[in-house]
Structure 1
């Protein structure tokens, strides 16, 4: 009986985690064009990271910072958000270097960053990793997103 309750608890936790990630993914898709959504992504992902300490939420916060850099009006604020995003994303990847979604986030951020900022270090490495690993993920939403992004 204890095993049954443990199984139910774990399945509920995984379902909740999956639902939560879906919400964050939706914010990521809208955050680039909406400052309000970008702020929400940044605040919610920071709060979730503080609660769980999971690197995926640290990476989502990084993306939030990149979006805020895009939306900011003040060059100093833009650069500050950009640097915070870089640092958080780097930390998340150090903690989970084989995490497909985090590496995909870094790839997109580096691809969209203007060249003069010099943040293109891992483009080829991440692309190779993503294209070789996406077929192995059980997360169908992530797999579809990657296939659509790379037009596979």
Structure 2
């Protein structure tokens, strides 16, 4: 019985890719969505590199809505570190690179976290055709919410 309860509690606190994708998509412009994303991602202690990148994104987005300067700095630094570690472990991962691009294009200039924007933009356009349908749709939604690509570049993903 105790093992069964532990299993239930463990699975209730598990962040899935599907959940992370949905939460990430809504968190950037809505504080309550950002809080929900952070609360879900903060609990994740697994080893899935993509989910760790989403966890980093949750920290970085939480920083945007945080009140204190030190809190903002620490949250953002933690988030960027998680994202960069994920990219380092899986540099060819389309989704992780999309997460990093989304955070970098929306990061305040003072953070200095914009150095991979051009690289990630080019990588994502180049690798788009090789992605499964769910990631293609995720990327299309991402491009609609982030004004990063030119109309000519967007034609490449239609």
Say whether the 8 Å CA contact 1:46–1:58 is kept in structure 2.
no
The TM-score with structure 2 as length reference comes to 0.75
Superimposed CA distance per residue, residues 26-71 of structure 1 (whole angstroms, 9 cap, x where no aligned partner): 11112123333323323323434x2x31111110111101111111
Counterpart-to-counterpart distance in 2, 1:47 and 1:75? 24
Counterpart-to-counterpart distance in 1, 2:84 and 2:139? 21
- Say yes or no: does 1:77 pair with 2:66: no
Counterpart-to-counterpart distance in 1, 2:75 and 2:90? 22
Give the RMSD, CA atoms, in angstroms. Answer: 1.8
- Say yes or no: does 1:141 pair with 2:134: yes
Q: How many residues align?
A: 131
Counterpart-to-counterpart distance in 2, 1:68 and 1:46? 11
Of 41, 44, 47, which residue of structure 2 is paired with 1:45?
Answer: 41
The TM-score with structure 1 as length reference comes to 0.78
SS at match of 2:73: helix
**Residue equivalent to 1:118:** 112
- Say yes or no: does 1:23 pair with 2:16: no
- Structure 2, unmatched stretches of 5+, are 1-14, 144-148
Counterpart-to-counterpart distance in 1, 2:110 and 2:16? 35
Counterpart-to-counterpart distance in 1, 2:41 and 2:50? 9
Between Structure 1 and Structure 2, the one with more helix by share is 1
